A and B are shown apart, each in its own frame.
Chain A
């Protein structure tokens, strides 16, 4: 009798690759992908901010960082892989799960769903989408240098003057405004994401979880404020050309 009742091993005999693929396509597994890639992208953002803040130290420090980033293979490929692997997986999984979620409720409520949730948490797709478009524009400006004002002269040592590019860009109020706007949405995204990724990865604690929720708010909006301070400092003349 015990035999007949035994919890059947539906997944027995599966290959490692097969079972991993099945897992990462499942509802929970796709959230593990979201969380892991989200963590990678978050760490990238933190590193990026640390570099940006060198603009306050001065031209030489900032340019030295820009050069180090390009010439140090570990730094460069660490950052690139966070983006090249993290971004596509994060975005594709988001699209897939949003489709699943929409399909899960074909008939909408006549009266708006009032079940409480933070707005930033309910609009992750929107904030993510805006940040993604901003990211592409940002690459076009600062990485590929195909838009925005670009310095014409090289540094005396023959290197590109990234500091001047930053200052010249942010001296344009419109560019600064777009930058700050994107930061606010990134902040909203992180204010949920930084908590959510731990929950998806299975971390929960009576003290730990409320702490994480606060950390996510502080991290999201704190990063946003730090990033946004740079164009403001340029516009106010604190960071000088």
Chain B
């Protein structure tokens, strides 16, 4: 099939960008969205033009590198799917597609569709870990954890840190990411000793990075490729309130 693309092109962090139109040919419905982008880039290189820069790594939905807003929806808006797993069968010949980077002050565009997500790393570095020596792998079930708690922790741990939550949010808030990174620890015994310091530090770092504030629109939950629930946000808030009371 043939597609009409509108792609954000920006040479680097300091220069302004703009949407540019491209026609891409020979796209098969069996391709993934990223393979379609590869096809576009081949065609661009054959013409001697600069290929479109975009992030990708695993191409199987687990690394969180790929990041494109497609027709106003991060990762294209299909339930539980990253761009790399988005198939071209969802599009038809002649479709017009708008492709943009994540848009947030805290995620500056480095080039074209590639944004700098180091703000997420700094949030994790501020408290998204446990500082106990974990040693070697313990025997299974040596540390009893109720199934319900383990499940809540695992659901939050599914976060691949792609940043679609920020991209989707009307307010460019990073609450879903930050809260998920706290929740997966806060549901385990190892996370308890530093539970309140963790949420305090992470919340401060989140603010310092210049993300917006949550208005409970749940747009993050709707687009999250790992379908993480805004439950984690309520937990994060509850822990911060408790942290305040406990001093």
Contact = CB atoms under 8 A, between A and B. Distances in A.
Interface of A: 1-2, 5-11, 16, 19-20, 23, 26-32, 97, 100-101, 103-118, 121-122, 124, 192, 195-196, 199-204, 209
Given A10-B200, A116-B222, A124-B215, A111 B173 contact: no
Contacts of B214: 27-28, 31, 200
9 contacts: A1-B133, A5-B131, A28-B213, A100-B171, A105-B212, A110-B19, A199-B237, A202-B235, A203-B238
Given A7-B197, A115-B168, A117-B218, A27 B241 contact: no
Given A28-B203, A117-B170, A199-B230, 8 more contacts: A7-B194, A10-B197, A27-B206, A29-B244, A101-B212, A109-B100, A200-B216, A209-B234
Closest 7 CB pairs of A and B: A202-B238, A204-B234, A114-B72, A104-B212, A115-B168, A101-B171, A115-B219
Contacts, number: 174
Interface in B101-122: 103-106, 109
Interface residues of B, number: 64
B216 A28 contact: no
B23 interface: no
A19 B247 contact: yes
B220 to A, nearest CB: 8
Contacts of A31: 213-214, 237
Of A32, A103, A105, A116, most B-chain CB atoms within 10 Å: A105
B54 interface: no
Interface string B106-146: 10010000000000000000110111110000000000000
Contacts of B222: 115-117
A29 B170 contact: no
Of A6, A27, A112, A204, most B-chain CB atoms within 10 Å: A27
Contact of A16 (B127, B206, B212, B247): B247
A100 B212 contact: yes
A10 B73 CA distance: 37
B18 to A, nearest CB: 9
Interface of B: 6, 8, 19, 69, 71-74, 77, 98, 100, 103-106, 109, 126-127, 129-133, 168-173, 175, 194, 197-198, 200-201, 203-204, 206-207, 210-219, 222-223, 230-231, 233-241, 244, 247
Nearest to B69: A109
Of B168, B210, B214, most A-chain CB atoms within 10 Å: B214
B235 A204 contact: yes
A117 B197 CA distance: 32
Contacts of A32: 237, 241
Contacts of B69: 109, 111
Given A27-B206, A30-B213, A108 B235 contact: no
